[in-house]
Amino acid sequence: MAGLLPTLWARAAAPPARVRVAVGGGEGQALRHLPLTVATQLDYFRPKGVDVTWLSYPNDALALQAVQEGVADVGAMGFEQALRSQGRSQAVRSLVLQARTPQLVLAVSTRALPHYRTPQDLRRCKIGVDEWGGLAHAMACRVLEQAGVGMQEVGFVVVGDGVQAVAALRAGKVQALCHGAPVLARLERSRELRMVYDTRSLAGAQAVFGGSLPGSCLAALPQFLQTYPARAQSLADGVVHALKWLQTAAPADIVKVIPAESLMGDRRLFLAALDRVRESISPDGLVPEGGALTAAKTLAMLDPTLDARRSLLARAYTQEFARKAKQQFSA
């Protein structure tokens, strides 16, 4: 027995495993990655044996690239990134969901379109999106299609992150935005923007997409999930623990947890933006039934090859880790 003590002590004293997480949008997308932020700030990961290191990237595409190139172990990104990667080299798989809606809005400039009534008023206008072929781009196309407006009747402009999107709108380079940056709340408050389609709520997402469409998630290469299942489970446990905490946390308590640099420089504005996305936060980390199919149908508007890859939808995510975490925390 005495001979076992050093071994047991060594195990108990073993440092947590380092896991590098590439965060798409970085601090500027604090609400998309709110569960990850809460889990990190409340130290939910280290007791589970992992030490999470954030690697901030301007957008999801670069976060995905970091995972595929081995710079990061896991990516915090939109679920659609996992979906679009299927059937290609270095496909990733979602292991736990952070948000159950994409938290995107379609908004029009009140200066350029003061008398806006329907999407038909967007004909001959330019719409800013964060990336070409992404979910925001597809969402705008879907709204236009539902209104009988062809994609060729509008112009799409890649405006990048939230700060760049605001600059493009104010400079008159675009007359509308389909975006997810929380900073747009500042333009809404100053009445420079009018939100006309809003997927930050379940009802709003249902109206636009016709079903559940997952938002942000943690995703990794299958090799990571197979080689380090305990680390993947620890990540899911930490996120689901945070989701459980968020179900009952008061806004003031959430603000205390968020790093100051992520509060958009305005506590009241952050609280207003938080209120808009509160319903979007996943209750348990699980991908909703039919969510992957809804996402594939939406993205196929811009990438028809997704129709041919629908048989691969099941590979875009696993419920194994989130389901175990849900049971542990009764989420």
Q: Quick one: 11 exposed, middle or buried, by C-beta within 10 A (0-12, 13-18, 19+)?
A: exposed
CA–CA separation, 313 vs 331, rounded Å? 25
Q: Which residue is listed with tokens 């948000």?
A: 99
Residue 56 has pLDDT above 80, yes or no: yes
- Quick: pLDDT tens for 263-311: 888 899 899 999 999 999 999 999 999 999 999 999 999 998 887 777 8
Residue 181 has pLDDT above 70, yes or no: yes
Instruction: State the CB neighbour count (10 A cutoff) for residue 163.
Output: 12
Residue 78 has pLDDT above 90, yes or no: yes
DSSP code of residue 99? B
Note whether 215 and 103 are within 8 A (CB): yes
Residue 10 confidence class, pLDDT cut points 50, 70, 90: very low
Residue 262 confidence class, pLDDT cut points 50, 70, 90: confident
Which amino acid is residue 236, in one-letter code? A
Residue 160 has pLDDT above 60, yes or no: yes
Q: What is the DSSP string of 200-217?
A: TSHHHHHHHHSS----EE
Residue 163 has pLDDT above 90, yes or no: no
Residue 261 has pLDDT above 90, yes or no: no
- The tokens for 259 are 């790093």
- Quick: pLDDT tens for 221-255: 999 999 999 999 999 999 999 999 999 999 999 99
The H or E element that residue 296 is part of is: helix 291-299
The H or E element that residue 20 is part of is: strand 17-24
Residue 103's pLDDT is what? 94
Say yes or no: do domains 16-101+213-329 and 105-198 share a fold. Answer: yes
Residue 12 confidence class, pLDDT cut points 50, 70, 90: low
Domain spans in the chain, listed from the N-terminal domain onward: 16-101+213-329, 105-198
- Quick: pLDDT tens for 120-140: 999 999 999 998 999 999 999
Superfamily of domain 16-101+213-329: Periplasmic binding protein-like II (3.40.190.10)
Superfamily of domain 105-198: Periplasmic binding protein-like II (3.40.190.10)
- The tokens for 271 are 């609280």
Q: Which residue is listed with tokens 């159950």?
A: 100
Residue 161's pLDDT is what? 85
Residue 4 has pLDDT above 70, yes or no: no
Residue 28's pLDDT is what? 62
Q: For the chain, give the percent of residues with pLDDT over 90.
A: 80
Residue 11 has pLDDT above 70, yes or no: no
Best CA proximity match to 60, nearest among 127, 128, 133: 133
Residue 162's pLDDT is what? 85
Residue 9's pLDDT is what? 46
Residue 258 has pLDDT above 50, yes or no: yes
CA–CA separation, 134 vs 114, rounded Å? 28
Q: For the chain, give the percent of residues with pLDDT over 70.
A: 95
Summary mean pLDDT of the chain:
92
Residue 6's pLDDT is what? 52
Q: What is the DSSP string of 49-91?
A: TEEEEEEEESSHHHHHHHHHTTS-SEEEEEHHHHHHHTTSTT-
The H or E element that residue 196 is part of is: strand 193-198
CA–CA separation, 5 vs 78, rounded Å? 46
Residue 2 has pLDDT above 80, yes or no: no
Residue 26's pLDDT is what? 61
Q: Quick one: 234 exposed, middle or buried, by C-beta within 10 A (0-12, 13-18, 19+)?
A: buried
Ramachandran angles phi, psi of 275, nearest 5° = -60, -35
